[in-house]
């Protein structure tokens, strides 16, 4: 690989813009200050954050740097390279911690075409503004006439103002009003939502970023790019017609009758250069606003607004693979267009054997209601996970347990009623009254303000497993997982049916993160791995689970740095796919081991920020991650704190982190080329003493 | 394909040559990846970028009804007629009757762009001040690259049969 600071002429465009909203100034930083040592995307953003911030940063401080960072594959035509990292101190994490997001759409590619590998936005404008980036020029524009607009309206107005080739990343009223769960929205209804970065934009009085670019991005090898376009994700060449259906059947468990031809659906890609069409696209859907009908994009979560009588089930082939069948992915339950399975595979039956979701009976099928709720979230710019998976389910379970008897929200609490949801989200997004202000702080904080013992931890007794039919699964009314986020393939509550080998690994990944990590680190491994880890107690003693989590986190770093998407990576039977992507884009030839080390560097620097700013250590993160494991999975299995601790020991060993503190050892910092960080940690008293980890 | 959706100014089909078309959404909706213009610019110019494309993908960022604009290969070739260096810079392929640009001869006067009867224009001047236009990937063994790399078969040749939903095309 090239020496540090020697930026290849391919893939990167060479500049990062430092944009200060306070004095409306722009500074240009050479990308070579960071890359290729920090490959791109999140890795560069992490390095910038480490360099320019100090402990004590709050999410809404003007100095909080909000960064949009592309990777070397972005805009080269390499599939899924259009995705872009978004990083900053995050308001929707509990506690606030440095965090990452990942957004599709076209802003990342346009940014490269405009001549920038990324932008860093600091400061706070006196009045609402938007930034326009146009072929190397960055200008500031009055956004008072846009303030208050819904996200689609804002994007369309900006397009009308700046031309059809202008794309934008915008916030809606939720971001303007500093709702902690506010999203940044961009083309194709892609969002950076979970961390609440929409509120960071709002705190800076920044309504939108408009990008236009007519420049070129040159990949190292056109032939390699074209080859990847035909091999990554094994894409099918198949027509994509609009279907007119009388059944809403987006998942096995979302399946109800509608009016004849009412459901108009097909699939779309999420970002520039994607070679898949994972996203479900519904046309002429009922809108929550005067537009009457709208087209909507759904990933995995939006469809649960249509119906939640049963939890999201899974089949092993989504996550666990054999040599003959390794192309199914999470979204292949309905949205994606997966290739047909290889029927000569002797393990096909095992791969396709469904582990059904639990019976929930939260709300029945209603196509219009589902579309209205999704439209509300999209147009207000608010995180669908916080609303659909957490707020709505909490309201149902809270009401059924009597916990909410004393709460008057101005209407009968009924998330199955679209009028109630309109009323409730209007209160939240515009921070109307006590309840609006409370829930605008995000679910984690709202429940703590109300009193977590009663409003979070009360046990709901209405969930029935279908993996062990009839087994009652008693879990809290609040689907809280860790760091202020909700369940996402954690083996409990929503998406609760993955086996232990999945959810234990996912829990380890969540532990060292600052948000729901599953967005870009769905667990993948071999079918043998799954079969070996079906017993939760034994799985806690199995080093392969820790190794899987390590791989998952490394691959997540790759996806965020190079960049790539979670539907394409990891490919268990194509371990050097990302190396090929990097080489095709930049000419940098790295072995799998070298790329792993580059990603370890990025992850460890992320950890350094958490140690420096947030007091991150084992005593903080292990109990935070463990919490869901005390409740039964879909087979009634639980894990004790001691069992989980054994898994954490193995996991820390793999990373080269001290078992007692969870801090990287000096050797680890040096191995990652972060000697300066080791010195800093020593000054902070956070370099663990020299002791040999127990094996 | 509804020609109005292609942005074609009033030009009857019989005046157009064999060209690339975008199928109706009921046949195959463009998924919006932009692969058509990406591979177009990569194959012809070695870069990705809007100034280097010969096919014009117009991204509808909100409602996602994307449009693909292509040279209609007009039989009366007004672009060729306008070229001051016709038969050198702007040349008609004797076998296919398609107009193509010999870039080394092109002086970048943009008269061909002005003469293009469509909006948006289907010819552009690239960064090297040369006119570039779709020539159906003349000489390329697999034919037009945009069609080959469109995963959802949303574009095809005007004399092709529409793709059949559900049928996978092997590459």
The model's pLDDT over A670-693, given as tens digits with 9 standing for 90+, comes to 999 999 999 999 999 999 987 764
The model's pLDDT over A169-182, given as tens digits with 9 standing for 90+, comes to 999 999 999 999 99
Average pLDDT, chain A: 95
Contact A276 B164 (CB under 8 A): no
Mean pLDDT in residue range A138-167 = 97
Mean pLDDT in residue range A446-471 = 98
Q: How far is CA A471 from CA A316, A357, A466, A488, A515, in A?
A: 21, 12, 8, 21, 30
Q: Quote the pLDDT of residue B9.
A: 57
CATH ID of B3-157, from 2.30.110.10, 3.30.70.20, 3.90.1150.10, 3.40.47.10: 3.30.70.20
Please choose, from the candidates A381, A386, A13, A442, the residue with its C-alpha nearest in 3D space to the C-alpha of residue A168. Answer: A381
Last residue of a domain, one of A450, A471, A505: A450
The answer to whether A154 faces chain B, any CB pair under 8 Å, is no
Asked if the model's pLDDT at residue A350 lies above 70, the reply is yes
Q: Quote the pLDDT of residue A604.
A: 98
The model's pLDDT over A181-221, given as tens digits with 9 standing for 90+, comes to 999 999 989 999 999 999 999 999 999 999 999 999 999 99
Of chain A, the percentage scoring pLDDT greater than 90 comes to 89
Best mutation target, B24, B151, B160, to test chain A (most A CBs within 10 A) = B151
Last residue of a domain, one of A181, A212, A243: A212
SS3 A129: strand
Q: Which residues contact A555 (CB under 8 A, 6 or more apart)?
A: A521, A569, A570, A578, A599
The model's pLDDT over A646-672, given as tens digits with 9 standing for 90+, comes to 999 999 999 999 999 999 999 999 999
Best mutation target, B27, B43, B64, to test chain A (most A CBs within 10 A) = B64
- Rounded to 10°, the helix A500-511/A641-655 angle is 60
Asked if the model's pLDDT at residue A339 lies above 90, the reply is no
Lowest model confidence (mean pLDDT) among A74-78, A338-342, A523-527, B25-29: A338-342
Q: Which residue of A has its CA nearest to B165?
A: A239
| Domain identity same for A433 and A531 | no
Number of structural domains found in chain A: 3
Q: Which residues contact A528 (CB under 8 A, 6 or more apart)?
A: none
* Structure tokens given for B61: 């960022």
Q: Which residue of A has its CA nearest to B145?
A: A226
Q: Which residues contact A465 (CB under 8 A, 6 or more apart)?
A: A358, A359, A471, A472, A473, A634, A635, A636
Q: Which of B49, B63, B154 sits opposite A215 (nearest CB)?
A: B49
Contact A294 B63 (CB under 8 A): yes
Q: Which of B38, B64, B164 sits opposite A281 (nearest CB)?
A: B64
- For residue B94, the distance in angstroms to the closest alpha carbon of chain A comes to 30
| Domain identity same for A512 and A443 | no
Is residue A674 in some structural domain?
yes
Count other C-beta atoms under 10 Å from residue A636's C-beta: 14
Best mutation target, B1, B22, B27, B38, to test chain A (most A CBs within 10 A) = B38
Mean pLDDT in residue range A564-573 = 90
Asked if the model's pLDDT at residue A268 lies above 70, the reply is yes
Asked if the model's pLDDT at residue B116 lies above 50, the reply is yes
Within 8 A of B64 by CB-CB distance, chain A residues are 188, 268, 281, 295, 297
Q: Are A414 and A420 in contact (CB under 8 A)?
A: yes
The model's pLDDT over A371-400, given as tens digits with 9 standing for 90+, comes to 999 999 999 999 999 999 999 999 999 999
Domain limits at A113?
15-212
Read off the CATH number of the domain in which A525 is found: 1.10.599.10
Last residue of a domain, one of A167, A190, A212: A212
Q: Which helix (H) or strand (E) holds A592?
A: helix A592-614
| Domain identity same for A127 and A71 | yes
pLDDT band at A551, cuts 50/70/90? very high
ipTM summary value: 0.94
Please choose, from the candidates A243, A226, A251, A214, the residue with its C-alpha nearest in 3D space to the C-alpha of residue A109. Answer: A214
Asked if the model's pLDDT at residue A237 lies above 50, the reply is yes
| Domain identity same for A391 and A522 | no
Q: Quote the pLDDT of residue A568.
A: 87
Q: Which residue has the tokens 């607009």?
A: A149
| Domain identity same for A183 and A99 | yes
Q: Quote the pLDDT of residue B2.
A: 43
Q: How would DSSP label each residue in A519-562? A: TS----EEHHHHHHT-SHHHHTT-HHHHHHHHHHHHHHHHHHHH
Q: Which residues contact A525 (CB under 8 A, 6 or more apart)?
A: A319, A320, A321, A501, A544, A548, A572
Within 8 A of B22 by CB-CB distance, chain A residues are none
Is residue A491 in some structural domain?
yes
Contact A277 B34 (CB under 8 A): no
Q: Quote the pLDDT of residue B167.
A: 85
The string over B106-141, giving b where at least 16 C-beta atoms fall within 10 Å of a residue's C-beta and e elsewhere, is: beebbbbbebbbbeebbbbbbeeebbbbbbbbeeee
Contacts A–B by Cβ distance under 8 A: 155
Contact B151 A295 (CB under 8 A): no
Read off the CATH number of the domain in which A117 is found: 3.60.9.10
Please choose, from the candidates B79, B59, B141, B35, the residue with its C-alpha nearest in 3D space to the C-alpha of residue A233. Answer: B35
| Domain identity same for A445 and A488 | no
Contact A235 B151 (CB under 8 A): yes
pLDDT band at A336, cuts 50/70/90? low
Contact A240 B29 (CB under 8 A): yes
Q: Which helix (H) or strand (E) holds A326?
A: none
Within 8 A of A159 by CB-CB distance, chain B residues are 61-62
Q: Are A174 and A183 in contact (CB under 8 A)?
A: yes
Q: What angle do CA B93, B99, B102 make, to 5 degrees?
A: 85
Is residue A297 in some structural domain?
no
| Domain identity same for A655 and A506 | yes
Q: Which residue of B has its CA nearest to A270?
A: B33
The answer to whether A233 faces chain B, any CB pair under 8 Å, is no
- For residue B95, the distance in angstroms to the closest alpha carbon of chain A comes to 29
The answer to whether A75 faces chain B, any CB pair under 8 Å, is yes
Of chain A, the percentage scoring pLDDT greater than 70 comes to 97
Q: Quote the pLDDT of residue B4.
A: 45
Q: What beta strand segments (E) does A270-329 contain?
A: 279-286, 293-298, 308-310, 320-321
Is residue A486 in some structural domain?
yes
Q: Which of B35, B152, B162 sits opposite A238 (nearest CB)?
A: B152
């Amino acid at each position: 690989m090239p020496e540090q600071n020697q930026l290849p002429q391919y893939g990167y465009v060479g500049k990062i813009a430092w944009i200060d909203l306070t004095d409306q100034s722009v500074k240009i930083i050479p990308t070579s200050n960071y890359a290729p040592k920090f490959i791109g995307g999140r890795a560069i953003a992490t390095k910038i954050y480490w360099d320019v911030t100090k402990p004590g940063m709050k999410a809404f401080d003007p100095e909080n740097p909000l960064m949009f960072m592309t990777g070397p594959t972005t805009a080269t035509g390499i599939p899924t390279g259009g995705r872009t990292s978004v990083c900053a101190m995050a308001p929707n994490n509990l506690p606030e911690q440095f965090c990452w997001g990942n957004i599709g759409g076209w802003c990342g590619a346009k940014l490269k075409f405009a001549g920038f590998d990324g932008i860093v936005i600091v400061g706070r404008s006196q009045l609402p503004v938007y930034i326009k980036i146009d072929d190397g020029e960055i200008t500031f524009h009055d956004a008072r006439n846009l303030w208050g607009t819904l996200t689609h309206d804002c994007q369309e107005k900006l397009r009308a103002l700046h031309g059809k080739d202008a794309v934008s990343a915008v916030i809606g009223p939720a971001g303007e009003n500093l709702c902690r769960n506010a999203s940044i929205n961009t083309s194709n209804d892609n969002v950076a939502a979970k961390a609440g970065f929409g509120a960071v934009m709002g705190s800076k009085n920044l309504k939108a970023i408009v990008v236009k670019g007519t420049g070129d991005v040159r990949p190292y090898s056109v032939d390699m790019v074209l080859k990847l376009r035909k091999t990554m994700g094994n894409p099918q060449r198949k027509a994509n017609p609009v279907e007119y259906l009388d059944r809403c059947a987006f998942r096995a468990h979302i399946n109800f009758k509608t009016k004849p031809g009412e459901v108009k659906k097909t699939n779309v890609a999420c970002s520039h250069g994607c070679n898949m069409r994972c996203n479900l696209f519904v046309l002429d859907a009922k809108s929550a606003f005067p537009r009457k009908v709208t087209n909507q994009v759904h990933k995995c979560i939006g469809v649960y607004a249509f119906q939640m009588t049963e939890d999201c089930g899974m089949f092993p082939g989504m996550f666990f693979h054999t040599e003959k069948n390794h192309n199914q992915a999470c979204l292949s339950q309905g949205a994606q267009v997966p290739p047909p399975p290889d029927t000569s595979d002797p393990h096909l039956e095992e791969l396709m054997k469904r582990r059904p979701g639990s019976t929930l009976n939260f709300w029945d099928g209603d196509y219009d209601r589902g579309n209205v709720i999704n439209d509300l979230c999209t147009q207000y710019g608010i995180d669908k996970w916080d609303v659909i998976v957490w707020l709505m389910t909490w309201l149902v379970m809270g009401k059924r347990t009597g916990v909410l008897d004393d709460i008057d929200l101005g209407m009968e609490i009924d998330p199955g009623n679209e009028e109630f949801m309109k009323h409730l989200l209007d209160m939240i997004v515009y921070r109307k009254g006590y309840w609006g202000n409370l829930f605008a702080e995000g679910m984690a904080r709202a429940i703590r303000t109300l009193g977590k013992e009663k409003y979070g931890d009360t046990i709901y007794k209405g969930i029935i497993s279908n993996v062990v039919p009839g087994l009652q699964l008693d879990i809290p009314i609040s689907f809280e997982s860790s760091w202020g986020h909700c369940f996402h393939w954690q083996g409990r509550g929503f998406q609760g049916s993955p086996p232990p080998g999945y959810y234990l690994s996912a829990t380890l990944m969540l532990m060292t993160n600052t948000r729901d990590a599953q967005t870009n680190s769905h667990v993948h491994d071999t079918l043998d791995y799954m079969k070996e880890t079906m017993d939760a107690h034994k799985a806690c003693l199995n080093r392969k689970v820790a190794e899987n989590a390590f791989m998952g986190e490394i691959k997540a770093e790759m996806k965020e740095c190079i960049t790539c998407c979670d539907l394409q990576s990891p490919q268990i039977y194509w371990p050097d796919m990302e190396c090929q992507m990097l080489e095709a884009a930049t000419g940098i030839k790295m072995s799998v081991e070298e790329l792993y080390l580059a990603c370890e560097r990025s992850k460890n620097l992320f950890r350094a920020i958490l140690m420096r700013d947030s007091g991150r250590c084992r005593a903080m993160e292990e109990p935070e991650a463990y919490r869901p494991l005390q409740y039964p999975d879909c087979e009634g299995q639980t894990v004790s704190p001691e069992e989980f601790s054994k898994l954490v020991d193995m996991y820390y060993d793999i990373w080269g982190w001290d078992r007692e503190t969870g801090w990287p050892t000096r050797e680890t910092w040096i191995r990652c080329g972060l000697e300066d960080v080791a010195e800093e940690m020593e000054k902070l008293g956070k370099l663990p003493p020299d002791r040999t980890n127990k094996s | 394909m509804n020609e109005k959706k292609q942005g074609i100014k009033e030009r009857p089909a019989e005046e157009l040559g064999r060209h690339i078309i975008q199928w109706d959404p009921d046949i195959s909706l463009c998924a919006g990846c932009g692969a058509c213009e990406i591979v177009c610019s990569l194959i012809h110019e070695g870069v990705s970028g809007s100034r280097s494309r010969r096919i014009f993908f117009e991204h509808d960022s909100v409602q996602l009804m994307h449009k693909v604009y292509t040279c209609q290969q007009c039989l009366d070739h007004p672009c060729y007629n306008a070229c001051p260096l016709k038969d050198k810079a702007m040349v008609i392929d004797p076998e296919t009757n398609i107009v193509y640009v010999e870039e080394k001869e092109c002086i970048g006067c943009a008269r061909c762009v002005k003469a293009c009867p469509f909006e948006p224009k289907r010819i552009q001047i690239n960064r090297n001040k040369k006119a570039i236009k779709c020539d159906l990937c003349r000489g390329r063994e697999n034919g037009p690259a945009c069609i080959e790399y469109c995963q959802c078969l949303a574009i095809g040749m005007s004399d092709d049969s529409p793709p059949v939903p559900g049928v996978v095309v092997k590459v």
